[in-house]
Chains A and B, each alone.
Chain A
Amino acid sequence: MLNVYFTAGHPHRDDTVEIIRALDQAGVDLIEVGIPYSDPLADGPTIQQSSQVALQNGMTLALLFEQIAEARRFSDTPLILMGYFNQVMQYGEESFIKTCQEVGVDGLILPDLPLYEYERSYKQLFEKYDMGISFLLTPQTDEQRIHEIDELSRGFIYMVSDASITGAKQGISDRQLAYFERIAAMQLRNPRLIGFGISNSDTFQTACQYANGAIIGSAFIQALGLHGIEVAGATRDFVRQIRA
C-alpha cells in the first residue's frame, strides 16, 4: 500500500484538489492530507515550511473541507487528514468529526492526541461518526502499549520508522529492520504503514516487505516545491518513481 502525504494549500492554495486528482489517477492506495499548522511539533523542516507557505496562502480549515468535498466528486481513494489536536478543539471536537464524515474523510491522524485522552473523551465520537483513527508507534513503544495502540486504532497503525521527526533520511538500518520484524511478528489486527524516512522506491519496497505499506510525505512535498512546477505532472512522475 502506498500512502502519499501532502500539505493542503501548498504550494498554492487551490492545488489541494488537483493534487488529490493526480494522486487518484496515479493509483495510490491512500491519500493523507495535512492540515497546515503554525506549530507542527512532530514534523520536520520540510513539512513545517510547507505549512507556513499554506497558511500564508490563506489556507483555512473551512476551505480545506470544501476542497475535500469537491475532490470527493471524482475520487473515492481513501482519504485521511493529519493535524494537531488544537485545531480539532477550536473547530469543536464533535463538529470536526461530523464535518469530516460529511465531506468524505475516512480517518484522522492526530499525533498529539494521547491514547488515554482519546479513550476517555473522544472514542465514542469517532465511533458515532464511523471515523477511523491511526495512532503512532515507535521503536521505543513497549509491547503492552503496542497492543493498546492496536486495540484503539481504526484503519491502520502508523509505524514511525525511527526515533525522529518527519523528513527524508538515507536508507534503512539493521536496527530498523529488527524493529520492523519484531512488530510484524506480533500479528496485530490493524494493517501497519511505515512512515518517516521513506523517500524513494528502495525504501518503499523495503517497507512493503516488512509491513503493509508505507507513507511518503517530505520527499513528495520537496518534489512539489520545485519552482514553477505543474503539480499534476509532478505528482504523476513522483508516484511512478516510487513504484518503479
Chain B
Amino acid sequence: MMHNTTTPSQQATIAVDELGYYGEFGGAYIPEMLYPNVETLRRQYLGLIKESSFQDEFRRLLRDYVGRPSPLYFASRLSAFFGAQIYLKREDLNHTGAHKINNTIGQILLARRLGKTRIIAETGAGQHGVATATVCALMGLQCIVFMGAVDMERQAPNVARMKMLGAEVRPALSGSQTLKDATNEAIRDWINNPEDTHYIIGSVVGPHPYPDMVARFQSVISEEMKSQLQEQTDRHYPDAIVACVGGGSNAAGAYYHYLNDRRVRLIAVEAAGHGVHSGESAATSVLGSRGIIHGSRTLLMQTPDGQIVEPYSISAGLDYPGIGPLHAHLISTGRAEAVSITDEEALKAGFFLAQNEGIIPALETAHALAALDRLGFSADDVVVVCLSGRGDKDLDTYIGMTNCE
C-alpha cells in the first residue's frame, strides 16, 4: 500500500500566468471591442469564484441539481479485456448527460454576479448548448446558442432539447458549418452586444481567462477522483488518465489536480476522422502548428499562409481545428501523450462499451475508449477514463453503422 501525500515535482509547476499563458501558449488576442468584457472577467473571476457565497451556491447546485459526485465505476469486463484496472469517471450520469454542465453552472453564477442578462454560447455536439440552455432556464436568463448548420443536422436531438428549454438556436452558415464557425458567430454576437451579454464558452479555449476559468469549473472531476480512488484503490492517484480532446474541457478537468503529479500519465485522445493524413481529420496535435485561433495562441490546423483549415470528425464535439492552450503546452512539453483515433475505431469502441458494460457513450467519449488498446498498460495499472458524455444524441450515427454492416 502506498501513501503519497506530497506531490513530487522537480519540474516547473504547470499553471497559468498572469497574462494567461501556459508556457508559450495562451494570452488574449482579441479585438478592442471585446476588451472591456474580457478584462472585467480577467480582473474579477478569481475573486468572485473564491467568495464563499459563490462556492456555497456552486457546490449546492452541483450536488442537488447536477447530481454530483459522479460515480467512479470499476469496469471489470473492460479491465479483464484490456489487462489493466480500468475505472470510468461517469460524467455521463450528470444532469444533461455530460461534463459540460459543471462549467455552465459556474459561468451562469459568474454572469449573474456581473449583472449580465443575456447569455450566448457556441456548441458542437450540442451538449454545451443543452447545458447552457439548462442553466439559463434555471436562472431565467435569455439564451442564444450558435451551432454549425451541419452539426444541427447530425445532433438533431440536442437541437430539440435546447429549443424545449427555451433557447434560441442560430445556425452558423460560414466555413465548414461546424464548431469553429459557431464559435466565430458567438464572438461576433458578443462584439455587437458588449453591455448586457455574457459569453459562456464551452471549452478550455478562447482568450484568457476562459481556458483557466473553464478548467477550474471542470476541475471538480479530478477533485472527486482523488477521494474516490483513495477509497477504492487505497491510493489517491491513478497511473493514467485517458480523455478525449476537442477543445479539451473534460480532459482539463480530469487532469487538473494531477497536472503536477508526474506519476500520472496524461493521455489526450484526438479525432483522426478518416485517418490522420487523409485530409479529413481533426488531429490537431499532429497536424497543427503554432498560431492563433479564437483569441488564444495555441496549436491549430492551418495552411502555410495562416488560413485555418476546416477539420473533420464524425464526432461534432471533436470536430475543431485547435486545442486549448493548456493542452498545447502539455503535449508540446511531453507532459501529456496524444493519441489519434479514427471514426471507425471510435464507433467500434462505442459498441464495445455498450455490449460489455451496458453503457452507451457519446461519440466523443468513444474516442477515449478506443485508445485503451494502444497504451500498453500492465495488469495492475490503475487507469481512469473520463466518460465525458452519454451517447443518446449519437444513436442515429451508431444505428447508421449497424445498418452498413
**Which residues of A are found within 8 Å of B35, using beta-carbon distances?**
114, 138, 140-141, 145
Smallest CB-CB separation from A40: which chain B residue? B184
**A41 and B184: CB pair below 8 A?**
yes
- What does the 1/0 interface line of A94-120 toward B look like (CB < 8 Å)? 000000000000000001111011000
Query: Once bound together, how far apart are the Cα atoms of A19 and B386, in whole Å?
Result: 55
Total contacting residues, chain A, CB less than 8 A: 38
**A140 and B36: CB pair below 8 A?**
yes
Any A CB within 8 A of the CB of B33: yes
**B305 and A61: CB pair below 8 A?**
yes
- What does the 1/0 interface line of B180-196 toward A look like (CB < 8 Å)? 10001001100111110
Smallest CB-CB separation from B309: which chain A residue? A38
**A89 and B292: CB pair below 8 A?**
yes
**Which residues of A are found within 8 Å of B27, using beta-carbon distances?**
114, 117
Query: Once bound together, how far apart are the Cα atoms of A165 and B180, in whole Å?
Result: 18
Q: What number of A-B contacts does a CB cutoff of 8 Å give?
A: 102
Any B CB within 8 A of the CB of A188: no
Least distance between A66 CB and chain B CB atoms (Å): 14
Given contacts A41-B188, A90-B302, is CB(A160)–CB(B174) below 8 Å?
A: no
**A41 and B187: CB pair below 8 A?**
yes
**B32 and A165: CB pair below 8 A?**
no
**B307 and A55: CB pair below 8 A?**
yes
- What does the 1/0 interface line of B28-56 toward A look like (CB < 8 Å)? 11111101100000000000000000000
Given contacts A41-B188, A86-B302, is CB(A138)–CB(B32) below 8 Å?
A: yes
Smallest CB-CB separation from B295: which chain A residue? A112
Any A CB within 8 A of the CB of B382: no
Any A CB within 8 A of the CB of B175: yes
Query: Once bound together, how far apart are the Cα atoms of A88 and B306, in whole Å?
Result: 8
Any A CB within 8 A of the CB of B308: yes
**Which residues of B are found within 8 Å of A41, using beta-carbon distances?**
31, 184, 187-188, 191, 294-295
Given contacts A112-B295, A165-B191, is CB(A86)–CB(B306) below 8 Å?
A: yes
**B180 and A39: CB pair below 8 A?**
yes
Least distance between A81 CB and chain B CB atoms (Å): 14
**Which residues of B are found within 8 Å of A117, using beta-carbon distances?**
27, 29
Smallest CB-CB separation from A160: which chain B residue? B33
Interface of chain A residues 136 through 188 with chain B (CB within 8 A): 136-138, 140-142, 145, 149, 160, 163-165
Any B CB within 8 A of the CB of A16: no
The 4 closest A-B pairs by CB, nearest first: A90-B306, A136-B32, A42-B31, A38-B307
List chain B positions with a Cβ less than 8 A from chain A.
Answer: 19, 27-33, 35-36, 174-175, 180, 184, 187-188, 191-195, 290-295, 302, 304-308
Interchain residue pairs with CB less than 8 A apart (17): A39-B184, A39-B308, A41-B187, A41-B295, A48-B174, A86-B291, A89-B306, A90-B291, A90-B304, A91-B305, A114-B30, A117-B29, A137-B32, A141-B36, A163-B33, A164-B191, A165-B191
List chain A positions with a Cβ less than 8 A from chain B.
Answer: 37-39, 41-42, 44, 48, 52, 55, 60-61, 84-91, 111-114, 116-117, 135-138, 140-142, 145, 149, 160, 163-165
